[in-house]
Chains A and B, each alone.
Chain A
């Protein structure tokens, strides 16, 4: 095994770590939001308690749903967690055996989203359809911009494999950033609320029909199925944050195969995620939800930033 490569065991460890940490990030965001709103708020471990409760419950299923409906949460969770395996967490470097790159990661997230939308249409209620329609309207606007941000760093590094990409950029810290990096990061800041389903694009706290995108699609799921869907959205959130940190802050110990290096890598990753999570909490506390048809304009800012970043890289 070459030095700097990540073994399969490490990949699986990183994936498990992301899944286990996912709910905590949501808990922290909720806690920060509560404190900004001068509330005490639930403990940061509340999402874990919710999940534990849901997995103990029975299932109620819409009588019009097909056999596919029970399978949807399973597939959505599997696709999202598989995307987590493609994020370099502890340290940079390509995996020892190729697994997937950033395009495959975005593809797996898109697969999860597609299946969620299909599941929402299965129960045959207006809410599910509305949520699915809105989600599938915004997804084609978010994904290309996200891909362009990935391209803007990938063109410089010559690869779309996240571990290798992070290793290539390993030495670059904010002071060494090009203008393209700043613009790409700005685009990412615009996209983050959209991709994690937060204000100003979506509101994760409510099922009101005026605001709901993602939550509307979960309405007919219950019990362990709902638990799977929630765990998937926690994982999706941390995977997206991990993607940002791999693209723009790929710092961490270079060769940390031993326990100390591992611990240091985990700590660095947690710190980066914490910073990005508090950004999300701040944005969510200080802005209102945008009208649905204003969201494309909001995402347009991200598109312009990403396109300029790419142009700067190429020209």
Chain B
């Protein structure tokens, strides 16, 4: 596909989708269908554009100027390997969301007015379009404009379902955090544009060439915090578990699966492409910080996810975890890149792991959010404790959710395992080459990654088991029915992606060639990871030059399938006929749904084990009848706090409140006083900055 016309076509699709909100004047349902159809078309065009760049001639960058909106900056688009790869990730999930969306919105809120439907269609198209073009931005101005558009459109989607004040509060928190991050990004970019005298990335790259070390590192950390806020790394994640669940589910899938990745894109672009030193490795403080931040996010994200009962909130916390896993790979790539005698192809392995996990996480997290959305649209309940028994009522949704659960728990033979395997190999390779404390940090990071995988499996055994298995606990779950076919198709698309990327990951490595080779100026991913053919994954070469560990997911899957067939024959046994049904054993009592293990009970042992991190609060009130031995009623309340929230944000909040209080004491309400303040401030500013002119 011609990329220039592809980009135009993509813009036209998303633009038409946004305009289709006007159709809501006649029919809200029509607006929904047409708007989502436009998103689908835009995503399919995006797929075409990205694939044609990724599979085309390597190293080619396509640039297209945009109409001049500002006198001081020329807007332009530029698509290279990295842009195309992230465009691919965005488009893959957007396809599923667009197919899934209309039916979801109609079943979830059938009484929504056309105004709300118009807003949702408009915001969805602006949101997806901004993300897609953000990755194709060729200059800082375009980048920041689309960045802001993405934030605003997602804010509108978060608060679009305003049944309670909670969504509005979540939206406000999101807005504040996102703009705090954007402010830092603005500073980072404007410092560079001021030096370069232009906005396009090539000029910034040239200007960054003669930065001194301190400025370079300061700019990097500004960008890290800015992008980290959007990506939701600990401790900047507090907005994420509130805002993501508040949006409609297919938008949650886009926010968790894709929007966080756009921040990763920004970080990679900024660190590796724009402000990296012309020669030599990146300053070592960058990579180590990213590695430690990633490890912390991975562990804390999954630990907090374990204690959630709201299924969408649980999934949102898992996004924090997975961003952490991606950052482990990114940090390792930063550490190893261009480091003589240590790095070599290992940096490529690390970056490949990070980028592959980006795609994988988009697939399985999108799938899980859509699965949760199916449940919610049928039951209108987000609390897992009120669900149960849905596997018999919604078998397709249950099966696809289980697929996503296995993938996100990094279990073979699905895609989550593949990218974590690569991360482990990169970590191990790194540990073998760094001696001393540096090696220990890497090894500790590997151990924490292993812990993360185990905890994720526990969390999803809980999430899937409590939501879909056992008996229904409420009437909502009792009367649930299967989701409409279009929603299942949306989920199945992502499920197929999980299976394909897990069983035959070698074929996906070609897609990673352009971004890895482009960023690291070294060999591409497939030259390193699939050096022994697309069926075999190997982690490059060891220090001694021998071929390192190699695995073949395809062979293992074939073995698994063959063994399953044999075990199925064994399972059928010698006796024919259907199994006899009997009630579940409950020590002779007749079981009810209250016998089922709840999510709280399931996670309780882990709450005990990790009590230091959870600080669980537990309140039991007994109502007794005169004597303590006859209990009439027990009231139980328990909660787990987010350490970042209580230790950092509440303190900041208190500080701001007390500051405001003290300012308030100076606010007399008389206009003369305020004019005096303004004059004094102006005087001081002139003294400080105006003297040399």
Contacts and interface: CB of A to CB of B under 8 A. Distances in A.
B662 interface: no
Nearest to B442: A314
Nearest to A133: B602
Contact of B454 (A98, A122, A140, A219): A140
B interface, size bucket: 35 or more
A114 interface: yes
Interface in B509-560: 532, 536, 538, 542-544, 546, 548-552, 555-556, 559-560
B570 A143 contact: no
Contact of A155 (B428, B556, B609): B428
**Majority secondary structure of chain B interface residues (helix, strand, loop or mixed):** helix
A57 interface: yes
A314 B571 contact: no
Interface string A157-171: 011110010000000
Interface centre among A68, A130, A132 (most CB of B within 10 A): A68
Interface string B402-417: 1000100111100001
Contact of B597 (A113, A129, A141, A158): A129
A219 B587 CA distance: 12
Interface string B439-458: 11001101110110111011
A129 B450 contact: no
Interface in A91-123: 97-101, 103-104, 107-108, 110-111, 113-114, 117-118, 120-123
Contacts of B428: 151, 154-155, 160
Interface in B140-160: none
Contact of A74 (B395, B542, B555, B571): B571
Contacts of A104: 412, 417, 421, 551, 556
Contacts of B435: 314-315
A57 B572 CA distance: 10
A114 B408 CA distance: 12
A143 B460 CA distance: 16
Nearest to A126: B595
Contacts of B410: 107
**Majority secondary structure of chain A interface residues (helix, strand, loop or mixed):** helix
A110 B595 contact: no
A155 to B, nearest CB: 5
A305 interface: no
Given A64-B470, A103-B421, A141-B609, A220 B549 contact: no
Contacts of A249: none
A282 interface: no
B471 interface: yes
A140 B563 CA distance: 27
A108 B411 CA distance: 7
B466 interface: yes
B244 interface: no
B583 interface: yes
Interface residues of A, number: 86
A254 interface: no
Given A58-B575, A100-B551, A224-B573, A143 B556 contact: no
Interface stretch (A40-48, A75-83, A178-186, A256-264): A75-83
B503 interface: no
A55 to B, nearest CB: 6
B532 A98 contact: yes
A68 B389 CA distance: 12
18 contacts: A62-B584, A66-B398, A68-B399, A68-B402, A74-B571, A77-B563, A81-B563, A107-B410, A107-B411, A122-B470, A127-B585, A142-B454, A147-B450, A158-B432, A159-B542, A223-B575, A224-B571, A228-B571
8 smallest A-B Cβ distances: which pairs? A129-B597, A140-B454, A121-B465, A124-B470, A224-B573, A59-B579, A66-B391, A144-B450
Given A117-B461, A125-B586, 9 more contacts: A55-B573, A73-B567, A82-B563, A108-B556, A110-B454, A125-B585, A158-B546, A158-B548, A293-B605
